[in-house]
Structure 1
Amino acid sequence: MASPAILKTVLFLRVFSLLALAASVVLMGLNNFTDFDGFKIRFFDLIAYRYVFAAGAIGFLYTLIQIPFALYNVVTEKRWIRNGFLQQFDFYGDKTMAFLLASGVGVGFGVSFEFKRLSGDDLSSKSKKFLDMGNISTGLLLVGFVSMALLSIISSNRRSSSSPIKGFFK
């Protein structure tokens, strides 16, 4: 059984991750501008930004599903489903989400920096603002990734300490 401090840390990290991912998705969803020709450019026009948006949205939904389980675990100090399924779900889900968010961070920063580097001083102020908003959204995705990576470490630790299987390192 995990200590109450660890349970509260898990809940805090899940809520923190949820807020960071929600902010990332909202900022990316609102990221658009109208060019000097009247052409409207949205985040959806760049495949990389679509991926950042999708990674944030999937991470948000996963975290939203996990919060009631974490809250129940903090309040009762027991698992909602006690057959070991939730430990497995936490273990594999946290790792999968961390890798998805990490790849979204790489894609988001990569495309923004490459567009700025290739364009040099030719970018308009609206284009720079568009790419800067993409960077801010990706930065929030990075915050969500870091908290998800910490959750992944905690779920690994919690799984290994309560596992009935004795391995080489036990």
Structure 2
Amino acid sequence: MAETADSSSKPSSSTVSRTVLLLMRVLTFVFLLIALILLAANKETEEDTSSGDSAEFKFNDFRAFRYMMATIVIGFAYNLLQMALSIFTVVSGNRILNGNVGYLFDFFGDKIMSFVLLSGSAAGFGASEDLHIIFKNAELPFNVYFAKANASASLLLFGFMCTAIASIFTSFALPKKA
């Protein structure tokens, strides 16, 4: 009888999976939100002392940073949807999308979104490093601008990792076919 009491006090593995999945979604939300704010607010104006010219850069001046912003926004929207579904599942114990369709949506959605987030992060890192080298040789230092762009790309990379971990947990829930 003591064994029954001990085993009933442990949460089931599906409860633990749902809780970890919700935690990964919340972490992804936080990383994407901060990455979005950093990239959107990233603006740098510097004056060239020799010519008196000034230059201003924003994220939308570069295609790679616009792509990175698009991946953040798409990932953010998908993650908000999945967070709402996860919260409902954890609180009620029931899924909104029942059957195989719900599990497949979670699995393939997480897989695709993780790769989208990874590609946005890679585009941001690559553009930031290339542009840093180009402007390092010019007489306009934009170190702060590129540091913020790298920070945003890093947070997007962390968002990718959380989504990839979530996709592993959603794969455990896939129905087993004989």
Q: Deviations 1:16-58 (Å, cap 9, x if unpaired)?
A: 1011101111110011122312443211001011111110110
- Aligned counterparts of 2:150 and 2:156: Cα–Cα separation in 1: 10
- Aligned counterparts of 2:39 and 2:132: Cα–Cα separation in 1: 18
Q: Does 1:72 align with 2:83?
A: no
Structure 2: gaps of 5 or more residues: 1-11, 48-52
3-state secondary structure, aligned to 1:35: strand
After superposition, the CA RMSD in angstroms is 1.7
Structure showing greater radius of gyration is 2
Q: CA deviation at 1:119?
A: 3.9
Q: CA deviation at 1:78?
A: 2.4
Q: Deviations 1:66-120 (Å, cap 9, x if unpaired)?
A: 1111011112322122232221110111011001011111111111112223444
Q: Does 1:107 align with 2:118?
A: no
Q: Give the corresponding residue for 1:48.
A: 64
Q: Give the corresponding residue for 2:15.
A: 4
Counterpart residue type for residue 133 of structure 1: K
CA contact (8 A) 1:22 1:57 kept: no
- Aligned counterparts of 1:120 and 1:129: Cα–Cα separation in 2: 12
Shift in CA distance, 22/137, structure 1 to aligned 2, threshold 3 Å: same
CA contact (8 A) 1:2 1:158 kept: no
% of aligned pairs identical? 31
- Aligned counterparts of 1:65 and 1:94: Cα–Cα separation in 2: 12
Match of 1:26 among 37, 55, 58: 37
Q: Does 1:133 align with 2:148?
A: yes
Structure 1: gaps of 5 or more residues: none
Q: How many residues align?
A: 162
Q: Give the corresponding residue for 2:8.
A: none
- Aligned counterparts of 1:98 and 1:138: Cα–Cα separation in 2: 14
Counterpart residue type for residue 115 of structure 2: F
Shift in CA distance, 72/86, structure 1 to aligned 2, threshold 3 Å: same
TM-score by length of 2: 0.84
Match of 1:152 among 153, 157, 167: 167
3-state secondary structure, aligned to 1:151: helix
* Higher mean C-alpha displacement, 32-41 vs 85-94: 32-41
